[in-house]
Structure 1
Protein backbone atom coordinates (compact mmCIF):
# COMPACT_ATOMS: atom_id res chain seq x y z
CA UNK A 1 0.00 0.00 0.00
CA UNK A 2 1.33 3.44 -0.90
CA UNK A 3 0.20 7.04 -0.77
CA UNK A 4 -0.41 7.18 -4.51
CA UNK A 5 -2.99 4.39 -4.35
CA UNK A 6 -4.74 6.08 -1.45
CA UNK A 7 -4.98 9.26 -3.53
CA UNK A 8 -6.52 7.24 -6.37
CA UNK A 9 -9.15 5.85 -4.00
CA UNK A 10 -9.96 9.30 -2.64
CA UNK A 11 -10.34 10.64 -6.18
CA UNK A 12 -12.67 7.77 -7.05
CA UNK A 13 -14.74 8.46 -3.94
CA UNK A 14 -15.03 12.12 -4.98
CA UNK A 15 -15.82 11.62 -8.68
CA UNK A 16 -17.61 8.23 -8.67
CA UNK A 17 -16.24 7.69 -12.17
CA UNK A 18 -13.00 6.00 -13.20
CA UNK A 19 -12.38 8.32 -16.13
CA UNK A 20 -12.89 11.54 -14.20
CA UNK A 21 -10.92 10.25 -11.21
CA UNK A 22 -8.04 9.28 -13.51
CA UNK A 23 -8.10 12.71 -15.13
CA UNK A 24 -8.02 14.38 -11.70
CA UNK A 25 -4.96 12.28 -10.82
CA UNK A 26 -3.29 12.88 -14.22
CA UNK A 27 -3.06 9.17 -15.03
CA UNK A 28 -4.77 6.92 -17.54
CA UNK A 29 -8.01 5.19 -16.62
CA UNK A 30 -6.47 1.67 -16.92
CA UNK A 31 -3.66 2.72 -14.56
CA UNK A 32 -6.05 3.96 -11.90
CA UNK A 33 -8.33 0.94 -12.27
CA UNK A 34 -5.39 -1.46 -11.97
CA UNK A 35 -4.10 0.21 -8.82
CA UNK A 36 -7.55 0.16 -7.20
CA UNK A 37 -7.70 -3.59 -7.94
CA UNK A 38 -4.28 -4.07 -6.35
CA UNK A 39 -5.42 -2.15 -3.28
CA UNK A 40 -8.49 -4.37 -3.00
CA UNK A 41 -6.30 -7.50 -3.32
CA UNK A 42 -3.93 -6.22 -0.64
CA UNK A 43 -6.76 -5.48 1.78
CA UNK A 44 -8.71 -8.59 0.85
CA UNK A 45 -12.01 -6.73 0.43
CA UNK A 46 -14.07 -5.19 -2.35
CA UNK A 47 -13.88 -1.41 -2.22
CA UNK A 48 -15.81 -0.50 -5.35
CA UNK A 49 -19.07 -1.72 -6.85
CA UNK A 50 -18.54 -1.66 -10.60
CA UNK A 51 -21.41 -1.41 -13.08
CA UNK A 52 -21.57 -0.14 -16.67
CA UNK A 53 -23.35 3.08 -15.72
CA UNK A 54 -22.42 3.86 -12.14
CA UNK A 55 -19.53 3.45 -9.73
CA UNK A 56 -20.25 3.16 -6.02
CA UNK A 57 -18.06 2.49 -3.03
CA UNK A 58 -19.01 -0.44 -0.83
CA UNK A 59 -19.63 0.34 2.85
CA UNK A 60 -16.10 -0.90 3.56
CA UNK A 61 -14.83 1.14 0.64
CA UNK A 62 -16.40 4.27 2.09
CA UNK A 63 -14.73 3.71 5.45
CA UNK A 64 -11.35 3.02 3.84
CA UNK A 65 -11.71 6.07 1.59
CA UNK A 66 -12.42 8.35 4.57
CA UNK A 67 -9.35 7.05 6.40
CA UNK A 68 -7.33 7.42 3.20
CA UNK A 69 -8.53 11.02 2.90
CA UNK A 70 -7.29 11.80 6.40
CA UNK A 71 -3.93 10.16 5.70
CA UNK A 72 -3.49 12.09 2.45
CA UNK A 73 -4.51 15.28 4.25
CA UNK A 74 -2.01 14.68 7.06
CA UNK A 75 0.78 14.13 4.55
CA UNK A 76 -0.13 17.36 2.76
CA UNK A 77 -0.07 19.14 6.12
CA UNK A 78 3.45 17.81 6.78
CA UNK A 79 4.56 19.12 3.41
CA UNK A 80 2.93 22.44 4.21
CA UNK A 81 4.76 22.70 7.54
CA UNK A 82 8.09 22.14 5.81
CA UNK A 83 7.38 24.53 2.94
CA UNK A 84 6.03 27.35 5.10
CA UNK A 85 9.02 27.11 7.42
CA UNK A 86 11.07 28.25 4.43
CA UNK A 87 8.63 30.87 3.06
CA UNK A 88 5.50 31.41 5.18
CA UNK A 89 3.89 33.85 2.75
CA UNK A 90 4.17 31.87 -0.50
CA UNK A 91 2.56 28.81 -1.97
CA UNK A 92 -1.05 27.78 -2.50
CA UNK A 93 -3.94 28.51 -0.16
CA UNK A 94 -7.35 26.99 -0.90
CA UNK A 95 -10.00 29.33 0.48
CA UNK A 96 -13.73 28.64 0.38
CA UNK A 97 -16.44 31.30 0.45
CA UNK A 98 -20.20 31.03 0.15
CA UNK A 99 -22.14 32.39 -2.87
CA UNK A 100 -24.09 35.21 -1.21
CA UNK A 101 -20.84 36.78 -0.02
CA UNK A 102 -18.11 35.86 -2.51
CA UNK A 103 -18.86 38.22 -5.44
CA UNK A 104 -19.54 41.16 -3.14
CA UNK A 105 -16.65 40.80 -0.68
CA UNK A 106 -13.78 39.59 -2.86
CA UNK A 107 -13.42 42.73 -5.04
CA UNK A 108 -12.74 44.70 -1.87
CA UNK A 109 -10.14 42.39 -0.31
CA UNK A 110 -8.33 40.52 -3.10
CA UNK A 111 -6.28 43.58 -4.22
CA UNK A 112 -4.94 44.09 -0.68
CA UNK A 113 -4.15 40.36 -0.41
CA UNK A 114 -2.15 40.53 -3.63
CA UNK A 115 -0.21 43.54 -2.37
CA UNK A 116 0.48 41.99 1.03
CA UNK A 117 1.31 38.49 -0.24
CA UNK A 118 2.64 38.87 -3.79
CA UNK A 119 3.97 35.27 -3.90
CA UNK A 120 0.71 33.73 -2.69
CA UNK A 121 -1.43 31.65 -5.04
CA UNK A 122 -4.96 32.04 -3.68
CA UNK A 123 -7.38 29.42 -5.00
CA UNK A 124 -10.95 30.53 -4.33
CA UNK A 125 -13.74 27.94 -4.14
CA UNK A 126 -17.33 29.19 -4.10
CA UNK A 127 -19.77 26.70 -2.61
CA UNK A 128 -22.63 26.50 -0.13
CA UNK A 129 -21.63 26.58 3.52
CA UNK A 130 -22.29 22.93 4.35
CA UNK A 131 -20.13 21.83 1.44
CA UNK A 132 -17.34 24.18 2.49
CA UNK A 133 -17.37 22.74 6.00
CA UNK A 134 -17.22 19.20 4.60
CA UNK A 135 -14.20 20.15 2.47
CA UNK A 136 -12.54 21.78 5.46
CA UNK A 137 -12.98 18.67 7.58
CA UNK A 138 -11.42 16.34 5.02
CA UNK A 139 -8.56 18.66 4.08
CA UNK A 140 -9.70 19.78 0.65
CA UNK A 141 -9.76 23.39 1.86
CA UNK A 142 -7.26 25.27 4.01
CA UNK A 143 -9.82 27.77 5.30
CA UNK A 144 -13.27 29.15 4.55
CA UNK A 145 -15.11 32.42 5.05
CA UNK A 146 -18.42 31.47 6.66
CA UNK A 147 -21.31 32.96 8.59
CA UNK A 148 -21.40 32.16 12.30
CA UNK A 149 -22.23 30.12 14.21
CA UNK A 150 -20.11 27.16 13.14
CA UNK A 151 -20.80 24.15 15.33
CA UNK A 152 -17.62 22.09 15.08
CA UNK A 153 -15.13 21.77 17.92
CA UNK A 154 -12.37 20.85 15.46
CA UNK A 155 -12.61 24.28 13.83
CA UNK A 156 -11.25 27.65 14.87
CA UNK A 157 -13.42 30.64 13.90
CA UNK A 158 -11.69 34.02 13.60
CA UNK A 159 -14.33 36.80 13.59
CA UNK A 160 -13.99 39.25 10.69
CA UNK A 161 -16.94 41.66 10.67
CA UNK A 162 -20.69 41.97 11.16
CA UNK A 163 -22.69 42.57 8.00
CA UNK A 164 -26.08 44.28 8.41
CA UNK A 165 -29.13 43.42 6.33
CA UNK A 166 -31.28 45.94 4.45
CA UNK A 167 -34.81 45.56 3.18
CA UNK A 168 -35.22 45.82 -0.59
CA UNK A 169 -38.70 46.86 -1.75
CA UNK A 170 -40.19 47.93 -5.11
CA UNK A 171 -40.31 51.71 -5.55
CA UNK A 172 -44.12 51.64 -5.34
CA UNK A 173 -44.21 49.69 -2.07
CA UNK A 174 -45.84 51.37 0.97
CA UNK A 175 -42.50 51.20 2.84
CA UNK A 176 -40.49 52.72 -0.02
CA UNK A 177 -40.73 56.26 1.33
CA UNK A 178 -39.39 55.31 4.76
CA UNK A 179 -35.84 56.36 5.57
CA UNK A 180 -35.50 53.50 8.04
CA UNK A 181 -37.70 50.92 9.73
CA UNK A 182 -37.78 48.64 12.73
CA UNK A 183 -38.34 44.91 12.56
CA UNK A 184 -41.98 45.49 13.51
CA UNK A 185 -42.54 46.92 10.03
CA UNK A 186 -42.01 43.44 8.59
CA UNK A 187 -45.00 42.01 10.42
CA UNK A 188 -47.29 40.28 7.91
CA UNK A 189 -44.84 40.91 5.06
CA UNK A 190 -44.11 38.00 2.69
CA UNK A 191 -40.39 37.88 1.84
CA UNK A 192 -38.75 36.44 -1.24
CA UNK A 193 -36.06 33.98 -0.10
CA UNK A 194 -33.37 31.79 -1.60
CA UNK A 195 -33.79 28.07 -2.13
CA UNK A 196 -32.83 25.46 0.48
CA UNK A 197 -29.12 25.03 1.14
CA UNK A 198 -28.17 28.72 1.20
CA UNK A 199 -27.16 29.96 4.63
CA UNK A 200 -28.71 33.33 3.77
CA UNK A 201 -32.09 31.60 3.58
CA UNK A 202 -31.72 30.39 7.16
CA UNK A 203 -30.55 33.84 8.28
CA UNK A 204 -33.53 35.52 6.60
CA UNK A 205 -35.93 33.01 8.14
CA UNK A 206 -34.51 33.86 11.56
CA UNK A 207 -35.33 37.52 10.89
CA UNK A 208 -38.81 36.55 9.70
CA UNK A 209 -39.47 34.65 12.91
CA UNK A 210 -38.34 37.62 15.00
CA UNK A 211 -40.46 40.08 13.04
CA UNK A 212 -43.60 38.04 12.45
CA UNK A 213 -42.98 37.92 8.71
CA UNK A 214 -43.17 34.85 6.48
CA UNK A 215 -41.85 33.51 3.21
CA UNK A 216 -43.69 34.33 -0.01
CA UNK A 217 -45.05 31.03 -1.25
CA UNK A 218 -44.51 29.69 -4.75
CA UNK A 219 -41.02 31.13 -5.30
CA UNK A 220 -37.47 30.42 -4.18
CA UNK A 221 -34.53 32.21 -5.74
CA UNK A 222 -31.29 30.62 -6.87
CA UNK A 223 -29.14 33.71 -6.30
CA UNK A 224 -29.23 37.18 -4.81
CA UNK A 225 -29.40 38.63 -8.31
CA UNK A 226 -32.58 36.66 -8.96
CA UNK A 227 -34.11 38.05 -5.77
CA UNK A 228 -33.06 41.56 -6.79
CA UNK A 229 -34.73 41.25 -10.18
CA UNK A 230 -37.91 39.87 -8.64
CA UNK A 231 -38.11 42.86 -6.30
CA UNK A 232 -37.55 45.23 -9.23
CA UNK A 233 -40.41 43.46 -11.04
CA UNK A 234 -42.72 44.23 -8.08
CA UNK A 235 -43.09 40.57 -7.12
CA UNK A 236 -42.22 41.11 -3.47
CA UNK A 237 -39.63 42.30 -0.94
CA UNK A 238 -36.45 40.68 0.32
CA UNK A 239 -33.52 41.05 2.68
CA UNK A 240 -30.14 41.82 1.16
CA UNK A 241 -26.77 41.74 2.94
CA UNK A 242 -25.07 45.14 2.97
CA UNK A 243 -22.11 44.22 0.77
CA UNK A 244 -24.53 43.10 -1.97
CA UNK A 245 -25.69 46.68 -2.49
CA UNK A 246 -22.28 48.38 -2.55
CA UNK A 247 -20.30 49.32 -5.67
CA UNK A 248 -19.33 47.78 -8.00
CA UNK A 249 -22.90 46.41 -7.79
CA UNK A 250 -25.06 48.64 -10.00
CA UNK A 251 -28.00 50.49 -8.45
CA UNK A 252 -31.51 49.62 -9.59
CA UNK A 253 -33.89 52.57 -10.10
CA UNK A 254 -36.87 50.30 -9.40
CA UNK A 255 -35.70 49.24 -5.92
CA UNK A 256 -35.63 51.15 -2.64
CA UNK A 257 -33.21 50.05 0.08
CA UNK A 258 -34.22 50.60 3.69
CA UNK A 259 -32.04 50.19 6.76
CA UNK A 260 -33.14 48.95 10.18
CA UNK A 261 -33.22 51.24 13.21
CA UNK A 262 -33.49 48.61 15.94
CA UNK A 263 -31.22 48.43 19.02
CA UNK A 264 -29.95 45.17 17.50
CA UNK A 265 -30.62 45.44 13.75
CA UNK A 266 -30.60 42.18 11.75
CA UNK A 267 -27.16 41.15 10.58
CA UNK A 268 -24.87 38.19 10.04
CA UNK A 269 -21.46 37.61 11.62
CA UNK A 270 -18.72 36.64 9.20
CA UNK A 271 -15.63 34.68 10.24
CA UNK A 272 -12.69 32.87 8.71
CA UNK A 273 -12.68 29.23 9.77
CA UNK A 274 -9.89 26.66 9.70
CA UNK A 275 -8.94 23.41 11.40
CA UNK A 276 -7.42 23.84 14.86
CA UNK A 277 -4.77 21.32 13.82
CA UNK A 278 -3.77 23.31 10.72
CA UNK A 279 -0.08 23.94 10.14
CA UNK A 280 -1.06 27.26 8.56
CA UNK A 281 -2.60 28.90 11.63
CA UNK A 282 -0.12 31.76 11.85
CA UNK A 283 -0.45 32.63 8.18
CA UNK A 284 -4.25 32.29 8.22
CA UNK A 285 -4.49 34.72 11.11
CA UNK A 286 -2.55 37.26 9.04
CA UNK A 287 -4.82 36.59 6.06
CA UNK A 288 -7.92 36.99 8.24
CA UNK A 289 -6.69 40.43 9.34
CA UNK A 290 -6.87 41.60 5.72
CA UNK A 291 -10.48 40.47 5.47
CA UNK A 292 -11.28 42.10 8.81
CA UNK A 293 -9.83 45.42 7.59
CA UNK A 294 -12.82 45.95 5.29
CA UNK A 295 -13.56 49.72 5.10
CA UNK A 296 -16.35 50.67 7.49
CA UNK A 297 -18.35 52.56 4.85
CA UNK A 298 -18.98 49.27 3.02
CA UNK A 299 -21.02 48.08 5.98
CA UNK A 300 -23.34 51.10 6.08
CA UNK A 301 -26.25 52.03 3.84
CA UNK A 302 -25.19 54.45 1.07
CA UNK A 303 -26.83 57.86 1.28
CA UNK A 304 -29.65 58.50 -1.17
CA UNK A 305 -28.97 61.26 -3.64
Structure 2
Protein backbone atom coordinates (compact mmCIF):
# COMPACT_ATOMS: atom_id res chain seq x y z
CA UNK A 1 0.00 0.00 0.00
CA UNK A 2 2.89 2.30 0.71
CA UNK A 3 4.29 1.95 -2.80
CA UNK A 4 0.97 2.76 -4.46
CA UNK A 5 0.57 5.78 -2.20
CA UNK A 6 4.00 7.03 -3.21
CA UNK A 7 3.33 6.63 -6.92
CA UNK A 8 -0.08 8.30 -7.03
CA UNK A 9 1.03 11.91 -6.57
CA UNK A 10 3.70 11.51 -9.26
CA UNK A 11 1.06 10.56 -11.81
CA UNK A 12 -0.85 13.82 -11.23
CA UNK A 13 2.12 16.08 -10.60
CA UNK A 14 2.77 18.50 -13.49
CA UNK A 15 6.46 18.63 -12.59
CA UNK A 16 6.71 14.86 -12.94
CA UNK A 17 4.86 14.91 -16.26
CA UNK A 18 6.62 17.87 -17.88
CA UNK A 19 10.08 18.21 -16.34
CA UNK A 20 12.90 17.79 -18.82
CA UNK A 21 14.64 14.44 -18.31
CA UNK A 22 18.03 16.08 -18.91
CA UNK A 23 17.94 19.46 -17.11
CA UNK A 24 14.88 18.96 -14.87
CA UNK A 25 13.34 22.31 -15.88
CA UNK A 26 9.69 22.89 -16.67
CA UNK A 27 8.64 24.35 -20.06
CA UNK A 28 7.89 28.07 -20.23
CA UNK A 29 4.19 28.83 -19.58
CA UNK A 30 2.34 31.18 -21.90
CA UNK A 31 2.80 34.90 -21.15
CA UNK A 32 -0.93 35.44 -20.61
CA UNK A 33 -1.23 32.72 -17.99
CA UNK A 34 2.00 33.81 -16.28
CA UNK A 35 0.78 37.42 -16.08
CA UNK A 36 -2.62 36.44 -14.68
CA UNK A 37 -0.98 34.13 -12.12
CA UNK A 38 1.39 36.88 -10.95
CA UNK A 39 -1.47 39.37 -10.63
CA UNK A 40 -3.54 36.86 -8.64
CA UNK A 41 -0.69 36.38 -6.15
CA UNK A 42 0.65 39.95 -6.07
CA UNK A 43 -2.64 41.83 -5.67
CA UNK A 44 -3.40 40.61 -2.12
CA UNK A 45 0.21 41.35 -1.09
CA UNK A 46 0.09 44.85 -2.56
CA UNK A 47 -3.20 45.65 -0.84
CA UNK A 48 -1.95 44.39 2.52
CA UNK A 49 1.32 46.35 2.32
CA UNK A 50 -0.48 49.54 1.32
CA UNK A 51 -3.00 49.17 4.10
CA UNK A 52 -0.25 48.75 6.69
CA UNK A 53 1.99 51.56 5.43
CA UNK A 54 -0.75 54.15 4.80
CA UNK A 55 -1.84 53.98 8.46
CA UNK A 56 1.64 54.89 9.67
CA UNK A 57 2.74 58.47 10.43
CA UNK A 58 5.81 58.36 8.21
CA UNK A 59 6.59 61.25 5.85
CA UNK A 60 5.20 60.93 2.34
CA UNK A 61 8.60 60.19 0.77
CA UNK A 62 9.32 57.53 3.38
CA UNK A 63 5.96 55.88 2.72
CA UNK A 64 6.72 55.73 -0.99
CA UNK A 65 10.14 54.20 -0.36
CA UNK A 66 8.77 51.64 2.10
CA UNK A 67 5.95 50.70 -0.27
CA UNK A 68 8.31 50.37 -3.22
CA UNK A 69 11.00 48.34 -1.45
CA UNK A 70 8.59 46.10 0.45
CA UNK A 71 6.36 45.39 -2.52
CA UNK A 72 9.35 44.68 -4.77
CA UNK A 73 10.94 42.31 -2.26
CA UNK A 74 7.67 40.46 -1.63
CA UNK A 75 6.98 40.13 -5.36
CA UNK A 76 10.46 38.73 -6.10
CA UNK A 77 10.81 36.45 -3.09
CA UNK A 78 7.21 35.49 -2.36
CA UNK A 79 4.74 36.25 -5.15
CA UNK A 80 6.49 34.81 -8.21
CA UNK A 81 7.73 31.60 -6.52
CA UNK A 82 4.27 31.12 -4.95
CA UNK A 83 2.54 31.61 -8.29
CA UNK A 84 4.86 29.11 -9.95
CA UNK A 85 4.27 26.57 -7.18
CA UNK A 86 0.60 27.02 -6.24
CA UNK A 87 -0.72 27.59 -9.76
CA UNK A 88 1.67 25.18 -11.48
CA UNK A 89 -1.08 22.94 -12.81
CA UNK A 90 -3.00 25.88 -14.30
CA UNK A 91 0.13 27.57 -15.68
CA UNK A 92 1.21 24.48 -17.59
CA UNK A 93 -2.28 23.21 -18.48
CA UNK A 94 -1.82 23.67 -22.27
CA UNK A 95 1.48 21.76 -22.26
CA UNK A 96 0.01 19.04 -20.04
CA UNK A 97 -2.97 18.68 -22.35
CA UNK A 98 -0.69 18.35 -25.36
CA UNK A 99 1.55 15.82 -23.58
CA UNK A 100 -1.44 13.66 -22.60
CA UNK A 101 -2.85 13.88 -26.12
CA UNK A 102 0.49 12.74 -27.52
CA UNK A 103 0.63 9.95 -24.96
CA UNK A 104 -2.74 8.55 -26.03
CA UNK A 105 -2.16 8.99 -29.78
CA UNK A 106 -2.17 5.68 -31.66
CA UNK A 107 1.22 4.19 -32.46
CA UNK A 108 1.97 1.60 -35.13
CA UNK A 109 3.85 -1.59 -34.30
CA UNK A 110 4.93 -4.57 -36.37
CA UNK A 111 4.69 -7.83 -34.46
CA UNK A 112 5.55 -11.46 -35.09
CA UNK A 113 4.56 -14.43 -32.99
CA UNK A 114 4.36 -18.20 -33.50
CA UNK A 115 0.91 -19.68 -32.89
CA UNK A 116 -0.49 -23.19 -32.85
CA UNK A 117 -2.35 -23.94 -36.07
CA UNK A 118 -5.59 -24.77 -34.28
CA UNK A 119 -9.11 -23.27 -34.37
CA UNK A 120 -9.59 -20.39 -31.93
CA UNK A 121 -5.89 -19.55 -31.48
CA UNK A 122 -6.16 -16.26 -33.38
CA UNK A 123 -9.32 -15.37 -31.46
CA UNK A 124 -7.52 -15.75 -28.12
CA UNK A 125 -4.68 -13.56 -29.34
CA UNK A 126 -7.11 -10.92 -30.60
CA UNK A 127 -8.85 -10.81 -27.22
CA UNK A 128 -5.52 -10.36 -25.41
CA UNK A 129 -4.63 -7.42 -27.66
CA UNK A 130 -8.11 -5.92 -27.35
CA UNK A 131 -7.67 -5.67 -23.58
CA UNK A 132 -4.90 -3.13 -24.32
CA UNK A 133 -7.09 -1.24 -26.82
CA UNK A 134 -4.83 -2.52 -29.58
CA UNK A 135 -6.28 -3.09 -33.04
CA UNK A 136 -4.98 -5.47 -35.70
CA UNK A 137 -4.68 -3.55 -38.97
CA UNK A 138 -3.21 -6.32 -41.09
CA UNK A 139 -2.16 -9.93 -40.68
CA UNK A 140 -0.04 -12.31 -42.75
CA UNK A 141 0.26 -15.99 -41.93
CA UNK A 142 3.43 -17.96 -42.74
CA UNK A 143 3.53 -21.74 -42.19
CA UNK A 144 6.53 -22.72 -40.06
CA UNK A 145 7.55 -25.93 -38.31
CA UNK A 146 5.39 -26.38 -35.21
CA UNK A 147 2.61 -23.99 -36.18
CA UNK A 148 2.17 -20.73 -38.04
CA UNK A 149 4.05 -17.45 -37.83
CA UNK A 150 1.54 -14.61 -37.65
CA UNK A 151 2.83 -11.19 -38.69
CA UNK A 152 0.73 -8.20 -37.66
CA UNK A 153 0.61 -4.46 -38.05
CA UNK A 154 -0.92 -3.16 -34.82
CA UNK A 155 -2.43 0.19 -33.89
CA UNK A 156 -1.91 0.74 -30.16
CA UNK A 157 -2.25 3.64 -27.70
CA UNK A 158 0.84 5.83 -27.77
CA UNK A 159 1.67 5.17 -24.12
CA UNK A 160 1.80 1.39 -24.60
CA UNK A 161 5.26 -0.11 -24.15
CA UNK A 162 7.03 -2.88 -26.02
CA UNK A 163 6.96 -5.05 -22.89
CA UNK A 164 3.17 -4.73 -22.58
CA UNK A 165 2.69 -5.79 -26.18
CA UNK A 166 4.99 -8.78 -25.73
CA UNK A 167 3.08 -9.82 -22.61
CA UNK A 168 -0.22 -9.56 -24.48
CA UNK A 169 1.10 -11.74 -27.30
CA UNK A 170 2.30 -14.30 -24.76
CA UNK A 171 -1.02 -14.25 -22.89
CA UNK A 172 -2.81 -14.82 -26.19
CA UNK A 173 -0.89 -18.04 -26.81
CA UNK A 174 2.01 -16.72 -28.87
CA UNK A 175 5.63 -17.75 -28.50
CA UNK A 176 8.96 -16.38 -29.74
CA UNK A 177 7.23 -13.01 -30.07
CA UNK A 178 8.93 -9.90 -31.40
CA UNK A 179 7.67 -6.33 -31.84
CA UNK A 180 9.12 -3.26 -33.57
CA UNK A 181 7.86 0.32 -33.91
CA UNK A 182 6.86 0.92 -37.51
CA UNK A 183 5.21 3.45 -39.83
CA UNK A 184 2.25 3.53 -42.21
CA UNK A 185 4.52 2.07 -44.90
CA UNK A 186 4.13 -1.28 -43.15
CA UNK A 187 0.51 -1.31 -44.33
CA UNK A 188 1.76 -2.14 -47.80
CA UNK A 189 1.59 -5.93 -47.63
CA UNK A 190 4.40 -8.20 -48.74
CA UNK A 191 2.76 -9.02 -52.07
CA UNK A 192 2.23 -5.35 -52.97
CA UNK A 193 5.79 -4.49 -51.98
CA UNK A 194 7.17 -7.41 -54.00
CA UNK A 195 5.25 -6.29 -57.09
CA UNK A 196 6.56 -2.74 -56.70
CA UNK A 197 10.13 -4.01 -56.46
CA UNK A 198 9.56 -6.34 -59.43
CA UNK A 199 8.66 -3.28 -61.51
CA UNK A 200 11.87 -1.65 -60.28
CA UNK A 201 13.92 -4.69 -61.33
CA UNK A 202 12.19 -4.75 -64.72
CA UNK A 203 13.71 -1.36 -65.42
CA UNK A 204 17.13 -2.15 -63.92
CA UNK A 205 17.96 -5.85 -63.25
CA UNK A 206 21.22 -4.83 -61.57
CA UNK A 207 19.09 -3.41 -58.74
CA UNK A 208 18.33 -6.97 -57.58
CA UNK A 209 20.54 -7.00 -54.43
CA UNK A 210 19.18 -3.68 -53.19
CA UNK A 211 15.60 -4.61 -54.07
CA UNK A 212 15.77 -7.90 -52.17
CA UNK A 213 17.41 -6.18 -49.20
CA UNK A 214 14.54 -3.67 -49.15
CA UNK A 215 11.93 -6.40 -49.54
CA UNK A 216 13.32 -8.42 -46.64
CA UNK A 217 14.52 -5.49 -44.50
CA UNK A 218 17.87 -7.29 -44.46
CA UNK A 219 21.56 -6.52 -44.88
CA UNK A 220 23.61 -7.63 -47.87
CA UNK A 221 26.67 -9.58 -46.77
CA UNK A 222 29.93 -9.31 -48.63
CA UNK A 223 31.55 -12.65 -49.65
CA UNK A 224 33.98 -12.32 -46.75
CA UNK A 225 31.20 -11.62 -44.27
CA UNK A 226 29.16 -14.53 -45.62
CA UNK A 227 32.05 -16.86 -44.78
CA UNK A 228 33.12 -15.40 -41.43
CA UNK A 229 29.97 -14.15 -39.70
CA UNK A 230 27.74 -16.51 -37.76
CA UNK A 231 23.99 -16.12 -37.56
CA UNK A 232 21.17 -18.00 -35.89
CA UNK A 233 19.31 -20.59 -37.92
CA UNK A 234 16.96 -18.99 -40.38
CA UNK A 235 18.44 -15.48 -40.16
CA UNK A 236 20.65 -15.96 -43.26
CA UNK A 237 19.27 -16.30 -46.79
CA UNK A 238 21.24 -17.07 -49.95
CA UNK A 239 19.79 -16.62 -53.43
CA UNK A 240 21.62 -17.72 -56.60
CA UNK A 241 22.16 -15.41 -59.57
CA UNK A 242 23.80 -16.07 -62.94
CA UNK A 243 25.90 -12.91 -63.13
CA UNK A 244 26.40 -11.82 -59.49
CA UNK A 245 26.94 -15.27 -58.07
CA UNK A 246 25.16 -16.20 -54.82
CA UNK A 247 23.97 -13.18 -52.84
CA UNK A 248 23.67 -13.63 -49.08
CA UNK A 249 21.35 -11.60 -46.87
CA UNK A 250 21.25 -11.48 -43.07
CA UNK A 251 18.59 -10.34 -40.63
CA UNK A 252 19.79 -11.06 -37.07
CA UNK A 253 17.07 -11.84 -34.58
CA UNK A 254 14.32 -12.17 -37.21
CA UNK A 255 14.35 -15.44 -39.17
CA UNK A 256 13.23 -15.37 -42.80
CA UNK A 257 9.89 -17.03 -43.48
CA UNK A 258 9.33 -19.49 -46.36
CA UNK A 259 7.11 -16.91 -48.08
CA UNK A 260 9.85 -14.26 -47.89
CA UNK A 261 12.40 -16.71 -49.27
CA UNK A 262 10.09 -17.59 -52.15
CA UNK A 263 9.54 -13.90 -53.03
CA UNK A 264 13.29 -13.23 -53.01
CA UNK A 265 13.98 -16.19 -55.32
CA UNK A 266 11.23 -15.13 -57.73
CA UNK A 267 12.76 -11.65 -57.93
CA UNK A 268 16.13 -13.24 -58.71
CA UNK A 269 14.55 -15.32 -61.49
CA UNK A 270 12.90 -12.21 -62.92
CA UNK A 271 16.20 -10.31 -62.93
CA UNK A 272 17.95 -13.23 -64.67
CA UNK A 273 15.29 -13.47 -67.39
CA UNK A 274 15.46 -9.74 -68.04
CA UNK A 275 19.26 -9.68 -68.09
CA UNK A 276 19.29 -12.25 -70.95
CA UNK A 277 16.57 -10.54 -72.98
CA UNK A 278 18.80 -8.00 -74.80
CA UNK A 279 21.23 -10.77 -75.85
CA UNK A 280 18.38 -12.89 -77.21
CA UNK A 281 16.96 -9.91 -79.10
CA UNK A 282 20.37 -9.17 -80.68
CA UNK A 283 20.58 -12.71 -82.12
Range of TM-score over shorter length: under 0.3
Higher helix share: 2
Structure of greater relative contact order (alpha carbons < 8 Å, 6+ residues apart): 1
Larger radius of gyration: 2
Q: TM-score of the superposition, structure 1-length normalised?
A: 0.23
Q: TM-score of the superposition, structure 2-length normalised?
A: 0.24
